[in-house]
Amino acid sequence: MTTLAMIDLLVCEQCDAVHRKSHMRRGELARCVRCGARLERAQRLTPDGMLALTVAAAVMFVLANIYPIVRVDVHGAHGVSTFWGAVQASWQEGSETVAVLAAVTVFFAPLAELLAAAYVLFPLARGRRAPHFAAAMRVLRIVGAWSMPEVFLLGAIVALVKLGDLATVAPGIGLWAFGALTGLITLVTAFDHQWLWDTAMESTA
């Protein structure tokens, strides 16, 4: 079977039933006729729109990592903390595992995810397929499972609430950026990988 013929086929991940693709409107969902599992959703965004979301997420990522996430006032004494300050404090207090997990899931995995998405989408937005496209898509799939800025955001909010009884606590620019990053990363993670593959196969190398 030729590569072009295989592009027109969908295989259900649940029951292995093979379906022939049909034209779908944006946002329309295709389900397996045998077991009802989701097969594919027609992408609502163009590669340009997906790239714009990725760039916006990258901007929020930078802001979240360079600006303070919280400002604490205790009896006239002021202090601020950045994400990396919190990671360093965890390490110095003997919580090396927590520090490493935080660095991996909140910094390195999201960074790799955004770089891989930009690498894939920038050529697609111009009608071309990136070199080593398959490897970049594997990176997207693997690091997506480790990218968890929302866990850090939730923990930071809980800590702010608990500290509120002991000190005056104000969220910093970094925390607001983490909030925006969480929403944008969620959208990036929701990109239909099958659609990206199909678009790449139809593009020039």
What is the model's pLDDT at position 5?
44
- Evaluate whether 9 touches 19 at the Cβ level (below 8 Å): yes
CA dist 96 and 115 (Å) reads 27
DSSP annotation of 60 reads: H
pLDDT tens digits, residue range 1-41?
444 444 567 788 788 888 777 766 666 677 888 898 877 76
Quote the pLDDT of residue 43: 63
- State the DSSP code for 105: I
Other beta carbons within 10 Å of 87: 19
In this structure, which amino acid lies at residue 116? A
Place of tokens 């509120």: 164
Helix (H) or strand (E) holding 79, with range, is: strand 77-81
Q: Is the pLDDT of residue 182 over 60?
A: yes
Q: Encode pLDDT of 105-117 as tens digits.
A: 999 999 999 999 9
Give the integer Cα–Cα distance in Å for 190 and 205: 25
- 129 to 2, 52, 123, 160, 203: CA distances (angstroms): 19, 18, 6, 45, 6
Q: What share of the chain is helix, strand, coil (3-state, %, to 5)?
A: 60, 15, 30
Beta bridge partners of 168: 73
pLDDT at 68 over 80: yes
Determine the pLDDT at residue 6. 45
Q: Check if the beta carbon of residue 78 is closer than 8 Å to that of residue 72.
A: yes
Quote the distance between the C-alpha of residue 158 and its chain's center. 22
pTM score, whole prediction: 0.75
For residues 166-180, give the mean pLDDT: 84
Q: Please choose, from the candidates 192, 156, 189, 198, the residue with its C-alpha nearest in 3D space to the C-alpha of residue 72.
A: 156
Give the whole-number percent of the chain exceeding pLDDT 70: 85
